[in-house]
């Protein structure tokens, strides 16, 4: 959002910062509450009668704090939060036909159909594949972690979000019905690998104080921005893509892309009663021969390509995921890409201080467009000095342009972090760690999965594999609650 919409910006910045600080300390004094209420009135952010006593819950203030400090004042999209643990303290496991009420945290860690689900003020964390047949969302938060897959059917009926609804998607969300947002909503497609789909249905964004932040891929049949929104309701990270059959925009300059180029791919019809954007970072991609434009195109200051079949034509390669672990004094790296037709190769670079990097290897690009590709690389770390190494991927385009991935830190002195000790005489082993633990899987020498155990925030536990375990070498993989992965070899004699 342009700062011209925010008079007395410095004073308001200080006010929002003070509010957020008080929220974190669990206390909001009455004078700050009254001052902030007047601030909201001045921006038409909340419909409040003057001289009326206003009581706002902490949850509403958290939403407002995110909206105003994350979007309006900084003129950036909302920053991506850290994904939570799959088993946070105080949580319980979601069951079929469940309700997630105010103050509750419930988790999904097992694949399945959970029947009906009502979220009315609590928080749901999804870490596996879950299907919901009947769904109501009157308030609260949904967080889909990396690897999670959340599918909503709802019997074909549209889902109308209530006020103060938040979604953070680090994985995959699919609504097989239409969505209509409410007031004070945030839909956050959090990472470059996040996918949010409203299959064959309408996505209706209306507010006020409701925002879509898209850092990944957002698919819908109809993408509708209503006139009831607040400024800049659609904020796109770079490079992200919105793909829709029908674009209907009723709010002036609804689309922003403050951090670099993003793309909107339209395949059938454009109905824009208001200009879409004031930013040239927003790329409009469509094929004039296939798309009907009703009235004026009203693309605003967008960069327009009317002979464009895919966002990959107007956006550079995306390294959508980059991870690494240490295994037997080797750094094992894996990265995933999308739309890499213009890429020649990748350089793998290593650093011991996070500042100065050296080339340790190169991988040729597969050069496949409109698809995902996965690459792996192994780097020796033994006898190189430090315990922690920093890796990054340098993408080299055919044109000579270069792009860098995020930086991954890998600690090869992990015995201090986690230890796996087998029993000498029995078929069990113990795991101890400085971190709380989440998941343990065991594989035999042929790579077959033979055991899985889930644990809830424990630092130490004993796992019995079975009573007929053959002698030999086994691989134990451990996932901690903060997402760290460890591999250990265990020998049963």
Per-residue pLDDT of the chain in tens (493 residues, 90 and over written 9):
333 233 333 444 444 444 444 333 333 334 443 443 344 333 333 333 333 333 343 434 444 444 343 333 335 687 778 888 898 999 999 999 999 999 999 999 999 999 999 999 999 999 999 999 999 999 999 999 988 999 999 988 999 999 999 999 998 999 999 999 999 999 999 987 788 999 889 999 998 999 999 988 899 999 999 988 888 999 998 888 999 999 999 999 999 998 888 999 999 999 999 999 999 999 999 999 999 999 889 999 999 999 988 887 777 656 777 888 777 678 889 988 876 777 889 999 988 766 678 999 999 998 776 567 889 999 887 655 556 788 888 888 887 777 777 777 777 665 556 667 665 445 566 776 767 777 888 888 888 888 887 776 565 555 555 555 677 788 888 888 777 777 777 776 6
Q: Which residues are paired to 217 by β-bridges?
A: 195, 241
Rounded to whole angstroms, how far apart are CA atoms 187 and 356?
38
Question: Within a 10 A sphere around the Cβ of 299, how many other Cβ atoms?
Answer: 23
Q: Phi-psi region for residue 355, left (φ > 0), alpha (ψ -120 to 50) or beta?
A: alpha
Q: What is residue 11's predicted lDDT score, i.e. its pLDDT? A: 45
Report the C-alpha gap between 62 and 391 in whole angstroms: 35
CB proximity list for 280: less than 8 A, separation 6 or greater:
301, 302, 303
User: What contacts 24, CB < 8 A, 6 or more positions away?
Assistant: none
What are the φ/ψ torsions at residue 3 (nearest 5 degrees)?
-70, -15
Across 286-427, the runs of DSSP E, i.e. the strands, are: 292-293, 303-305, 318-327, 330-338, 343-351, 357-364, 372-380, 388-397, 402-404, 408-411, 418-422
At residue 418, the pLDDT reads 66
The answer to whether residues 470 and 450 touch, using CB atoms and an 8 Å cutoff, is no
3-state SS record for 246-265:
EEEECCCCCEECCCCCEEEE
Tokens of 17: 């910062």
Handedness of CA 28, 34, 38, 40 (dihedral sign): positive
Place of tokens 């007395």: 8
The residues near 163 (Cβ < 8 Å, ≥ 6 apart) are 139, 182, 183, 184, 185
**pTM (whole model) above 0.95:** no
Q: Give the model's pLDDT for residue 123.
A: 96
Q: Could you please report the per-residue DSSP string of 211-223?
A: EEEESSEEEEEEE
Provide φ and ψ at 156, rounded to 5°. Answer: 85, -5
Q: Residue 26's pLDDT is what?
A: 32
Model pLDDT, residue 127: 94
Confidence (pLDDT) at 38:
42
Nearest of 451, 465, 456 to residue 438 by alpha carbon = 456
How much is the pLDDT for 383?
A: 58
H or E element that contains 124: strand 116-126
| CA-angle at 271, arms to 265 and 277, nearest 5° | 60
Q: What is the largest CA-CA distance in the chain?
A: 80
Closest by Cα among 333, 335, 312, 315 to 324? 333
Cα 416 to the center of its chain, rounded Å: 30
């Amino acid at each position: 959002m342009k700062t011209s919409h925010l008079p007395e910006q410095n004073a308001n910045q200080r006010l929002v910062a003070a509010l957020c600080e008080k929220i974190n300390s669990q206390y909001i004094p009455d004078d700050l509450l009254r001052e902030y209420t007047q601030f909201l009135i001045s921006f038409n952010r909340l419909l409040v009668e003057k001289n009326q006593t206003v009581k706002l819950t902490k949850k509403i203030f958290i939403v407002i704090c995110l909206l105003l400090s994350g979007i309006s004042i900084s003129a950036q999209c909302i920053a991506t939060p850290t994904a939570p643990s799959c088993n946070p303290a105080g949580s319980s496991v979601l069951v079929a036909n469940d309700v997630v009420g105010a103050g509750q945290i419930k988790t999904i860690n097992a694949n399945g159909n959970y029947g009906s689900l009502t979220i009315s003020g609590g928080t749901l964390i999804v870490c596996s594949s879950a299907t919901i047949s009947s769904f109501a969302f009157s308030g609260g938060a949904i967080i889909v972690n990396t690897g999670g897959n959340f599918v909503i059917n709802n019997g074909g009926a549209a889902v109308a979000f209530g006020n103060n609804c938040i979604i953070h998607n680090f994985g995959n969300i699919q609504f097989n019905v239409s969505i209509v947002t409410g007031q004070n909503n945030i839909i956050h497609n959090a990472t470059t690998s996040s996918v949010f789909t409203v299959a064959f249905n309408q996505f209706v964004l209306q507010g006020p104080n409701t925002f879509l932040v898209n850092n990944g891929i957002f698919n819908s049949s109809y993408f509708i921005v209503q006139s009831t929104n607040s400024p800049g309701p659609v904020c796109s990270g770079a490079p992200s893509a919105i793909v829709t059959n029908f674009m209907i925009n009723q709010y002036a300059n609804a689309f922003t892309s403050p951090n670099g180029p993003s793309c909107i791919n339209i395949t059938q019809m454009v109905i824009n009663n208001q200009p879409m954007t004031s930013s040239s970072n927003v790329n409009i991609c469509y094929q004039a021969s296939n798309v009907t434009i009703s009235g004026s195109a009203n693309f605003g200051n967008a960069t327009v390509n009317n002979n464009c079949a895919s966002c990959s034509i107007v956006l550079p390669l995306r390294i959508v995921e980059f991870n690494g672990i240490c295994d037997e004094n080797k750094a094992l790296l894996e990265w995933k890409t999308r739309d890499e037709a213009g890429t020649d190769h990748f350089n793998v670079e290593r650093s011991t201080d996070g500042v100065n990097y050296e080339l340790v290897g190169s991988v040729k690009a597969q050069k496949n467009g409109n698809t995902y590709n996965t690459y792996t690389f192994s780097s020796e770390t033994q006898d190189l000095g430090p315990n922690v190494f920093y890796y990054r991927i340098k993408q080299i385009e055919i044109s000579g342009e270069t792009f860098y991935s995020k930086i991954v830190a890998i600690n090869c002195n992990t015995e201090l972090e986690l230890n796996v000790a087998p029993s000498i005489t029995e078929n069990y082993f113990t795991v101890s760690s400085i971190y709380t633990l989440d998941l343990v899987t065991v594989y035999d020498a042929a790579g077959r999965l033979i055991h899985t155990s889930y644990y809830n925030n424990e630092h130490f536990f004993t796992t019995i594999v079975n009573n007929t375990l053959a002698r030999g070498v086994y691989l134990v993989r451990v996932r901690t609650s903060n997402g760290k992965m460890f591999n250990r070899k265990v020998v049963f004699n």
